[in-house]
Amino acid sequence: MKSIRDIDALAFGRPNLSDQDREKLRQAQIKQQKEEGYQLLVELCRLGEYDAANQLANRNSIWGYKIVDGVVMERLD
């Protein structure tokens, strides 16, 4: 944590990210969404909600999953 004398009151917000840092952050967010989506789909299938899981997988195609016979599988399109 910075001491109060090291803080510039006239500086605006966060520092600007480079394009490379911005892309890394975007990729990390996509990966996290994909992992959370997988967990949600697995839970729906475990509960026997195959239609709901299939609809959710179709609405979120960016996750890259599909439901086959009640099992979450990676979509190879």
Going from N- to C-terminal start, the domains of the chain cover 23-74
Query: Encoding tokens for residue 74?
Result: 């990676």
pLDDT by residue (tens digit) across 22-72?
A: 999 999 999 999 999 999 999 999 999 999 999 999 999 999 999 999 999
Instruction: Tell me the C-alpha distance between 47 and 53, whole Å.
Output: 10
pTM: 0.73
pLDDT of residue 49: 96
Instruction: Tell me the C-alpha distance between 57 and 62, whole Å.
Output: 9
C-beta of residue 54 within 8 angstroms of C-beta of residue 30: no
Instruction: Tell me the C-alpha distance between 30 and 68, whole Å.
Output: 23
